[in-house]
Amino acid sequence: MLSRSSSVARRWPGLCATFLLLGFSPVSFAQPADAAPPPGYTPAPANPAPIASPANQPYPADLYGPAPEAPPVSAPPASNVAVVSAPAPENRRPYSLGVTLANSMASETNSTSFVTSPLLEGAYAVHRHVLVDLTLGFGWMIDNQGLGESTFRAGNPMLSGYYRDEAGPWRFQLGIGVTAPLAHVSLGPDGRLYESLYNRTLAAWGMWNQWLWLTDRMAMPLTLRAGYTFPCGTELAVEVADAWVFGVRGEASGTDLIVQEAIEVRIPIGLLFTLTPRFQTVLLPSASMDRWQSAAGLRGTLATKAGRFFAGFLVNLDEPLVAAGSGARWGFQLGKEVDL
Amino acid sequence: MSRARRLAWVGPLLVMAGAGCNQRGLATCDITQHACQVDIYYRMLNLRGDGYDPFGGLPPVTVITEDEYRAMLLADQATTTPSPEELAYDKALELLHFTSPAAPPPGDGGLDGGAGNQDAGNSSIDDQVAHIYAFYDQNSKTVTVISHPNQTGSQPILTGMYVLAHELVHALQDRELDLNRTHFSSSDDVLAYKGMVEGDARFYEYLFDNDLRVMQGLAPADALQWPDDELDYAYTHFDELGSPLFAAEYLMYPFGAKYEATAYRSGGNAAVRHAYAKEPQHTVGFMVGPDGRVPPVSSGDVSEPPVVCSLLTTKGAVAERDQMGAVPIYAFLRAWAMDHATAFATAQTWTGDYLLVQATADVGTTAVAWRLEFSAAPDARIAQALAASGELVAKTAGTSMEITTTNSPTPLVWEPSANCP
């Protein structure tokens, strides 16, 4: 079986070589055809399913991969033909919870401040092809004024529905969501703290899914994600989202369109680890000066029996975030993905 | 993993790190040009360290000529029709010499044509046209840059840059504070708010100005000391600041900047954000002396001043009440020939004041009673100086002082309101 996998992999020498040039080494197709698994360990599928991610984060949803646990000892070897070998429906949980902590730090003259942004996500599969997702994020800024002076605010909760399907090595996912305008800056003496917190939180995500953090606005995002899994197990995925954003509270008014696009490559390394470089860019609302905000990121995901855990970072590559200071350049993320 | 592969890991990371560390340079530029406006705006974002709101963006910036600005000021002037209460109040300030004609204010543009400040003091329209470089209008949320084609050389360019920087801080504030706030309980309240708004803009203007120094090849200065320097200059050149009311308004800029500089020195932008949230509610809270002592801020509650009973019963009579606050009292005392040290020390002990203006319906007769209360007995020389010209009557009793004046041709009698029929 592995020999067939290797022969398929050889049809894509250019792409896989590209990844090698980047320094990423997918172990799965580097194994010899007749490689034996370690003693006491049953071979994993030759084409491990792509990592499932929370739908509303960077490294977005691919919510229909198999559960992340290592295959049970008694499990038969997975087919090398099927790119995705979904487990039987009765073995799946219909719901899953995930959490991501996005963090950023700003070191400025005389001060250091941290922003951490927990993003909670729950997903429920109402049908094999239909998923309902609820996301709520928070922002918490702690600075050198002490924990008692920290600032905590809620983001905009979002309810989303996703339709997903697959065809051979292709996977598609179409989603629509709506947010509630919970994020709010009350104009007043505390306004700068709140504004700063929301802006820094946006930066920690590279402005990705910014409707989760925009104050006094609600949004209706439409997302489309397409992924192609190469026989070597590497997945190339593209995501595009458009969102109409409406001012509904406070001084916010008018309607604007936000567009975001991302491309990422999920590279399995070994049986349990996946490395995902990503490039994303966001078309900001019309009031912005430099309207494209781009960021690059890297995430490592470890599949365990308790779920998929990840850590990664992104760096904002251009203005306006780069111009906004040290706290707006880097974002660091860690957490547990939604697994269904 | 081979060495080459290990290095291949490092390469992309270094590229990303390098991309994330680039920073827009600052260069001398013409603020009427969009690229210059963007450069300054980004620099202010960086100096304030609050990140970027994609919905904020660069506020609309309009560039107008001096003639267009003059027409705008004339139109504003023509549409202002004061009410009888406003007329009586203006008359009272005049009787107290708060708004007496004075030398024009320092007009280098750095005073700001900032938020809500287009009608600042007695600055004439000519002065404003000649010296205002830019202003922010919180109603239209627009920064207006006035083009001064006849002002050439590097200094007007640099001045224009830091004035625009100041106004762009107002644009950023407009997402944090209520710059359209209209409900103020008193002049003290207004000026305290102004101290926060303008002090913030002045403070970051100073940091930006320091960047301009570096850009010119000069050594960076201690910009955190500049508010003190500005205050010292104002104290020693008080007679150049214009009327006492204008001087009080002007002083709120460096007072507010000093408040923020003190916070910044202790904890950078983070401390400034928190200082913002704890802004003084009375101007006395800004009056930090050279000793660094922050005067205690009381509630501002004060006993009623005496009234003219006959004006209480006059048909259509007008009455206005106000609390001036410590900074206007400082300016008032300076205008009545008190030295800086005495005036400042007295104002620092302010616990409250109550200005009562009574006038006939036609505002032909105006009577003013002003009660000031302090935490310590005011210097005896103050009452003497105030009464010296005979225009004011000043009485001190313990830690309070009552000042009365009128333009009535016949003597008026002030007495406690409880005595009125």
CB within 8 Å of chain B, chain A residues 170-229: 185, 187-196, 198-200, 202-203, 207, 210, 214, 217
Q: Which residues of A touch B266 (CB under 8 A)?
A: 110
Answer whether B176 sits within 8 Å of A185, measured CB to CB.
Answer: yes
A49 CA to centre of own chain = 16
What does the pLDDT read at residue A20?
Answer: 34
What does the pLDDT read at residue B12?
Answer: 53
Q: What is the count of residue pairs from A and B with beta carbons less than 8 Å apart?
A: 177
CA–CA distance, B373 with A74 (Å, rounded to integer): 89
- Give the minimum alpha-carbon distance from B176 to chain A in angstroms, rounded to a whole number: 4
Q: Which residues of B touch A318 (CB under 8 A)?
A: 19
Average pLDDT across each block of 10 residues of chain B; the chain has 421 residues. List them in order. 48 50 72 91 92 87 92 81 87 89 40 43 69 88 88 82 94 91 92 95 96 91 95 93 91 96 93 90 89 75 88 82 96 94 94 93 91 94 91 92 92 88 78
Q: Tell me, what DSSP letter sits at residue A328?
A: G
- Any idea what the CATH number is for the domain that residue A269 is in? 2.40.160.40
Structural domains in chain B? 34-281 (no CATH), 307-419 (3.30.565)
Tell me which chain B residue has its CA closest to the CA of residue A104.
B51
**Pick from B5, B7, B24: which is nearest to A323 by CB?**
B24
For residue B37, what are its two tokens? 């406006």
Contacts of A163 (CB under 8 A, 6+ apart): A129, A130, A173, A174, A175
Tell me which chain B residue has its CA closest to the CA of residue A247.
B55
CB within 8 Å of chain B, chain A residues 37-56: none
Tell me which chain B residue has its CA closest to the CA of residue A18.
B8
**Pick from B13, B51, B178: which is nearest to A200 by CB?**
B51
Answer whether B55 sits within 8 Å of A190, measured CB to CB.
Answer: no
In sequence order, the β-bridge partners of residue A127 are A130
Buried b / exposed e over B121-158, threshold 16 CB at 10 Å, is bbbeeeebbbbbbbbbbbeebebbbbbbeebeeeebbb
CB within 8 Å of chain B, chain A residues 100-139: 106, 108-113
CA–CA distance, A157 with A170 (Å, rounded to integer): 30
pTM of the model: 0.82
Helix (H) or strand (E) holding A131: strand A130-143
Answer whether B51 sits within 8 Å of A322, measured CB to CB.
Answer: no
Answer whether B19 sits within 8 Å of A315, measured CB to CB.
Answer: yes
Pairing of strands B61-64, B142-146: parallel
What does the pLDDT read at residue B235?
Answer: 95
For residue B348, what are its two tokens? 């620092």
Q: Is A327 on the interface with B (CB under 8 A)?
A: yes
Q: In what order do the strands lie in the sheet with B393-397?
A: B318-322, B350-359, B366-374, B400-406, B393-397
Q: Which residues of A touch B269 (CB under 8 A)?
A: 108-109, 111, 113
Q: Which residues of A touch B54 (CB under 8 A)?
A: 202, 207, 210, 214, 284-285, 287-288, 293, 320
Output Rg (C-alpha) for chain A, integer angstroms: 21
Short-list B58, B55, B6, B47, CA closest to B23: B47
- Contact present, B194 and B328 (Cβ < 8 Å): no
Domain that holds residue A108: 2-336
Which residue in A192, A198, A290, A319 has the most chain B C-beta atoms within 10 A of its own C-beta, making it the best mutation to test that interface? Answer: A192
Contacts of A146 (CB under 8 A, 6+ apart): none
Answer whether B270 sits within 8 Å of A200, measured CB to CB.
Answer: no
**Pick from A196, A322, A330: which is nearest to B273 by CB?**
A196
Q: Tell me, what DSSP letter sits at residue A137?
A: E
Tell me which chain A residue has its CA closest to the CA of residue B3.
A23
Q: Which residues of A touch B23 (CB under 8 A)?
A: 322-323
A204 CA to centre of own chain = 13
CA–CA distance, A291 with B393 (Å, rounded to integer): 64
What does the pLDDT read at residue A15?
Answer: 39
Answer whether A192 sits within 8 Å of B277, measured CB to CB.
Answer: yes
CA–CA distance, A134 with B403 (Å, rounded to integer): 66
CA distance to B220, B261, B290, per residue, from B225 (Å) = 12, 8, 12
Tell me which chain B residue has its CA closest to the CA of residue A145.
B271
What does the pLDDT read at residue B116?
Answer: 37
CA distance to A165, A194, B39, B264, B276, per residue, from B269 (Å) = 49, 14, 21, 6, 10
Answer whether B270 sits within 8 Å of A319, measured CB to CB.
Answer: no
Angle at A27 between CA A21 and CA A29, to 5 degrees: 90
- Give the minimum alpha-carbon distance from B204 to chain A in angstroms, rounded to a whole number: 13
CA–CA distance, A321 with A319 (Å, rounded to integer): 5
What does the pLDDT read at residue B112?
Answer: 57
Buried b / exposed e over B74-93, threshold 16 CB at 10 Å, is eeeeeeeeeebeebbbbbbb
Tell me which chain A residue has its CA closest to the CA of residue B12.
A22
**Pick from B1, B46, B267: which is nearest to A110 by CB?**
B267
Q: Which residues of A touch B41 (CB under 8 A)?
A: 289
Answer whether B50 sits within 8 Å of A324, measured CB to CB.
Answer: yes
> Mean pLDDT score of chain A, rounded to an integer?
78
- Contact present, A50 and A62 (Cβ < 8 Å): yes
CB within 8 Å of chain B, chain A residues 277-306: 277, 284-285, 287-290, 293, 296, 298
**Number of domains observed in the structure of chain A:** 1
Per-residue pLDDT reduced to its tens digit, A37-84? 334 443 444 444 444 455 666 665 454 444 344 444 444 433 333 333
Per-residue pLDDT reduced to its tens digit, A75-119? 443 333 333 333 444 456 788 899 999 999 988 888 899 999 999
Q: Which residues of A touch B58 (CB under 8 A)?
A: 287-289
Q: Which residues of B touch A288 (CB under 8 A)?
A: 54-55, 57-58
- Contact present, B255 and B195 (Cβ < 8 Å): yes
pLDDT tens digit at each of 340 positions of chain A: 333 333 333 334 343 433 333 333 333 333 333 434 334 443 444 444 444 455 666 665 454 444 344 444 444 433 333 333 334 444 567 888 999 999 999 888 888 999 999 999 999 999 989 999 999 999 999 998 888 889 999 999 999 999 999 999 999 999 999 999 999 998 988 999 999 999 999 999 999 999 999 999 999 999 999 999 999 999 999 999 999 999 998 888 889 999 999 999 999 998 899 999 999 999 998 877 788 999 999 999 999 988 899 999 999 998 888 888 777 788 898 898 887 6
Q: Tell me, what DSSP letter sits at residue A304?
A: E
Contacts of B365 (CB under 8 A, 6+ apart): B311, B359, B406, B407, B408
CA–CA distance, B24 with B46 (Å, rounded to integer): 10
**Pick from B56, B266, B267: which is nearest to A287 by CB?**
B56
**Pick from B16, B53, B268: which is nearest to A108 by CB?**
B268
**Pick from B22, B57, B177: which is nearest to A322 by CB?**
B22
CA–CA distance, B51 with A210 (Å, rounded to integer): 14
Other beta carbons within 10 Å of A83: 21
Helical axes B380-387 vs B340-348, angle rounded to 10°: 110
B292 CA to centre of own chain = 21
